[in-house]
Amino acid sequence: MKISYLLVIMTLSALLFSCKTEHPSLPAVIPMPVSMEVAIGDFVLKPSSRISYTGGVEAAAVAEQLAAMLRPSTGFALNTSEDSDGDIRLVTDNSGEWKPEEYRLSVTGRRVTLTAATPEGLFRGIQTVRQLLPPQAEGSAIATDVDWVIPCVDITDYPRFDWRGMHLDVSRHFFDVDFIKRYIDILAMHKLNVFHWHLVDDQGWRIEIKKYPRLTETGAWRVDREDKPWNSREPQQPGEKATYGGFYTREQIKEIVEYAAERYITVVPEIEMPAHVGSALAAYPQYSCTGGPFTVPPGGVWPITDIYCAGKEETFTFLEDVLTEVMELFPSPWIHVGGDEADKTEWRRCPDCQARIRNEGLKDEDELQSYFIRRIEKFLNSNGRGLIGWDEILQGGLAPEATVMSWQGFEGGVAAAKSGHQAVMAPVSYCYFNVYQGDPATEPVSFSGLLTLKKVYSFEPVPPELTPDESKYIIGAQGCLWTEYITDGKTAEYMILPRLTALSEVVWSAPENRAWEGFSARLPKMMERFDAMGLTYSK
Ligand code: ACM
Ligand code: ZN
């Protein structure tokens, strides 16, 4: 074909298939890239194909991850080497202007060229390369009768938000290291970059702390009432053994943090305070107002009155010790300190808490909570970390540098942004994946409530009442998975998929590139990928 003729066809097809008017024959990439143009032809991956990279050891690691992903299904060797002439080229080039995490992908009949300024950009880019291949590429055994082709495309892509997160509660039910890695893999393929790990709650303390061994010896275990409904479980009785639970050792935590880092995912640990700490108080009752004794509750607790004492100095010594070990394990710039749902009944009758209110000139128990969080923030800041907490940390006044995770609605995030604080949006109504996604009659037992895929997709993290300047404080959004009713990994996968797939487009793609019809047309291909990966998901 003459070159001019080809150019005309390419231009026409680019116009036709430009993703602004999403065309059904566009490759089914989720989240939708910033710009994607399709040309005629395919690149064919062959047994002799080679992956080259420039950019040193981190680029090498990304090239190796791409090869490792494709070797089992293709059976090809896919050798990687540091040069510039592989069939698939990963190029590190930080000249010129690049957005954070940006990658550019050019596929011609001769080669695939993925360029980015950083290895992180390359890593996001290989997620797109995966999706341009047939779904069988995701399989763990050799797939035969597959044409390993990638359509010719030109893609420029970068995320809308810096914080693209997914949370997992491992307290209400414990999930093992293998599942946590699988969960991180799911986040990575969706180009998410934050794993919010809810390690502490009333029903189980899940992180080994050297200085306070009883946190896991006692706090990680509860009596087994799994045969009873969550909210009608009798507390542990005298003489009963607590046998149900688990925790992560320091070594396991390091392994997971490293695994996530290799996927350019930050693990943000959540160490709850002052409430949701029944497990900690069962181990160390002296840090409560009453002194206990307490047992780890095997099911629902409400209201949450047994909380850390804000009057005793020893409470803060304990928490600073715990956070010091947490910071050793987690390089995350943020440490999540919970802050939600504290019932302050005990603070009202505790002489130590009341003395603290008087001595600090605080107005009431809300201001005492604010004192508590500010004090912890100061400690974290002095160690070079930032504090993030659920939106209740606004009560009694927000700590000076705090980031707010807005869960009860949008209001907390709006208040934070209007006062110059960063906020992550995770409103229950769009982001809590622990409620039903379909007819309860045919779904696993969940929290009551319905959050459909379409509603997740319609989520707009930046509330309209914010000015453009204020909007900059909305650094992103995340999904949450609370596990009161989720006892195993397969159910956890089912609850997040494909709602997480919808959320990934909310947090990554430009709003003008988002359309429910286009997403629904691309989703079945993603589901074929889930099938090939053996993931459990809602159809
Ligand atoms: C929460 O759901 N209590 C943050
Ligand atoms: Zn107290």
What pLDDT shows up at residue 16? 41
432 lines ligand 1 (CB under 6 A): no
What pLDDT shows up at residue 3? 37
Nearest CA to ligand 1 atom 2: 407
Q: Is 147 a catalytic residue?
A: no
Task: State yes or no: pLDDT of 36 exceeds 80.
Answer: yes
- Helix or strand or coil: residue 357? helix
- Residue 234 carries which DSSP code? P
Residue 314 neighbours by CB under 8 Å, 6+ apart: 286, 287
390 lines ligand 1 (CB under 6 A): yes
How far apart, in whole angstroms, are the C-alpha atoms of residue 30 and residue 19? 12
Task: State yes or no: pLDDT of 35 exceeds 60.
Answer: yes
Residue of 167, 173, 196, 276 marked active site: 276
Residue in 270, 390, 391, 484 to alter for ligand 1 test, most ligand atoms within 8 A of Cβ: 390
HSE at residue 203, side-chain half, CA atoms within 13 A, is 27
162 lines ligand 1 (CB under 6 A): no
> In the chain, what percentage of residues exceed pLDDT 70?
95
What pLDDT shows up at residue 321? 99
What are the tens digits of pLDDT across the range 186-210? 999 999 999 999 999 999 999 999 9
The residue length of the chain stands at 539
What pLDDT shows up at residue 12? 43
Average pLDDT of the chain, as a whole number? 95
Tokens 């709650």, residue located:
201
pTM for this prediction: 0.95
Burial of 296 (0-12, 13-18, 19+ CB in 10 A): buried
What pLDDT shows up at residue 205? 99
What pLDDT shows up at residue 20? 39
341 lines ligand 1 (CB under 6 A): yes
Residue of 341, 343, 352, 528 marked active site: 341
Which atom of ligand 1 is found nearest the CA of 341?
A: 3
What pLDDT shows up at residue 355? 98
What pLDDT shows up at residue 5? 40
List of domains in the chain: 14-157 (3.30.379.10), 163-429+458-516 (3.20.20.80)
What are the tens digits of pLDDT across the range 380-406? 999 999 999 999 999 999 999 999 999
With helix as H, strand as E and coil as C, how does 4-23 read? HHHHHHHHHHHHHHCCCCCC
Q: Is 58 a catalytic residue?
A: no
Strand residue runs (E) in 199-265: 200-201, 204-205, 221-222, 244-245
What are the tens digits of pLDDT across the range 464-501? 999 999 999 999 999 999 999 999 999 999 999 999 99
How far apart, in whole angstroms, are the C-alpha atoms of residue 283 and residue 322? 14
